[in-house]
């Protein structure tokens, strides 16, 4: 058995993203299907405009939020499979040397779909627990007739079963492509090759200081992790600022839900990226500590290159949430009376930025505490 159930369950990050995606999509999709059943009962005028706005909101949230989260889950799955293959390359190479084909080995990677099944199932059940309050909030002014909550089989099938099967098949296919390397190459550990640069650029890089070049190389060799750093800061910025706006535009429940999802996604993505960067540069950190570089220099060299990307992601999240809320208020709900005008809240943005800085720098500091013993380890 190449990979077991425990190995798949450890991929908690995939389950968390799937949980958030299914939680949001289930509530709004189920609401979209239920609200259509009262379409013939809606009175002309204000109720019709409100009904149209609710339907449009459900579509936008399902397509944007759910689509982005599921795309992130795909990236996480690919990343986890690559990391698993790299960490078990010798064992996998031995299996290939014994005559097992890539497809035979890759078929066991179907269990990577289990985190999606578990996370999606938890998200679906959680959505049903929140639906009574959610439906009440969506129609709190009783503009529409009473909206009943009904079970639609298509929702759990499309949001839980199909993604789990699809992610399992994707894991098998991607693992099969990854394991097409020769057995000897896998047994050697599959050390990554250094990128080749044109001669004119290579001469410029030779003149760079050692720490500057090391920082640049770390950033270039971990491009996928740069995505997770940007994504985590993007989620934190967008969700935290949007949650405060929901207090006026929607309800405290929606604001709290967005705040929770933002914190969970941001913490998971940033911790995954930072911890992976440190593990991938353990040998470099050991040598730097043995050569006398202090702990702060190690952090700045290995992790400092990702700091601008983190704050760039925060800026993108700020722009995204502002544009999305302006579209919802000025376009979707423009014909609804009593909707407050949305303006950019500078104090909230500054508070969110300070909280993000504390979270990001705190994670760097926490990882740094694990760097300190590396100087006493024996370098192989």
Q: What is the pLDDT at residue 122?
A: 92
Q: What is the pTM of this model?
A: 0.70
Token duo for residue 236:
């934190």
Q: Crossing angle, helix 67-87 and helix 162-178, to 10 degrees?
A: 40
Q: Give the pLDDT score at 205.
A: 45
Residues 6 or more apart from 213 whose CB is under 8 A from it? 205
pLDDT given for residue 376 in this prediction? 47
Closest CA to 247 of 346, 357, 325: 325
> What is the pLDDT at residue 199?
47
Q: Which residues of the chain have pLDDT under 50?
A: 1, 190-206, 373-380
- Residue 197, token pair as written in the block: 């640069």
Instruction: Work out the burial of residue 82: count CB atoms within 10 Å of its CB; fewer than 13 is exposed, 13-18 middle, 19 or more buried.
Output: middle
* DSSP output for 84-137: HHHHTHHHHHHHHHTT--HHHHHGGGGGGGHHHHHHHHHHHHHHHHHHHHHHHH
Structure tokens at 176: 């099969």
Question: What pLDDT was estimated at residue 380?
Answer: 45
Q: Report the chain's terminal Cα–Cα distance, integer Å.
A: 30
CB 58 within 8 A of CB 35: yes
Nearest residue to 273 via CA among 316, 231, 215: 231
pLDDT score at 142: 78
Between helix 295-302 and helix 210-221 the angle, nearest 10°, is 50
Q: Which residues are CB-contacts of 380 (< 8 A; sequence separation ≥ 6)?
A: none
pLDDT tens digit string along 263-306?
A: 777 777 777 777 777 777 777 777 777 777 777 777 777 777 78
Q: What is the pLDDT at residue 359?
A: 85
């Amino acid at each position: 058995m190449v990979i077991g159930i425990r190995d798949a369950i450890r991929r908690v990050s995939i389950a968390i993203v799937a949980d958030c995606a299914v939680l949001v999509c289930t509530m709004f999709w189920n609401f979209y299907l239920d609200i259509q059943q009262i379409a013939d009962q809606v009175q002309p005028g204000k109720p019709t405009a409100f009904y149209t706005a609710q339907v449009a909101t459900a579509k936008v949230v399902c397509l944007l939020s759910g689509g982005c989260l599921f795309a992130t889950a795909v990236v996480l799955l690919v990343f986890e499979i690559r990391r698993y293959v790299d960490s078990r390359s010798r064992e996998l190479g031995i299996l290939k040397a014994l005559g097992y084909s890539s497809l035979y080995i890759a078929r066991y990677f179907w269990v990577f779909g289990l985190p999606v099944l578990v996370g999606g199932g938890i998200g679906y059940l959680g959505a049903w627990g929140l639906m009574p309050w959610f439906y009440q909030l969506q129609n709190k002014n009783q503009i529409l007739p009473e909206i009943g909550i009904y079970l639609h089989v298509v929702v759990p099938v499309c949001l839980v079963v199909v993604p789990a099967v699809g992610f399992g098949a994707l894991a098998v296919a991607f693992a099969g492509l990854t394991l097409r390397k020769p057995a000897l190459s896998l047994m050697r550990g599959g050390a990554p090759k250094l990128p080749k640069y044109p001669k004119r650029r290579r001469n410029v890089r030779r003149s760079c200081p050692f720490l500057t070049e090391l920082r640049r190389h770390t950033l270039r060799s971990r491009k996928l992790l740069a995505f997770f750093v940007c994504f985590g800061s993007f989620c934190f910025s967008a969700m935290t600022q949007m949650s405060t706006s929901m207090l006026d535009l929607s309800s405290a429940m929606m604001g709290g839900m967005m705040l929770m999802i933002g914190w969970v996604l941001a913490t998971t993505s940033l911790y995954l990226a930072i911890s992976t960067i440190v593990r991938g540069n353990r040998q470099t950190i050991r040598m730097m500590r043995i050569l006398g570089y202090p702990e702060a220099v190690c952090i700045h060299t290995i992790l400092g290159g990702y700091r601008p990307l983190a704050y760039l992601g925060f800026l993108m999240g700020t722009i995204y949430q502002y544009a999305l809320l302006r579209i919802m208020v000025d376009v979707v709900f423009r014909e609804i009376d009593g909707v407050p005008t949305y303006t950019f809240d500078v104090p909230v943005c500054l508070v969110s930025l300070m909280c993000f800085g504390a979270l990001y720098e705190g994670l760097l500091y926490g990882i740094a505490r694990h760097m300190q013993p590396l100087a006493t380890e024996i370098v192989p």
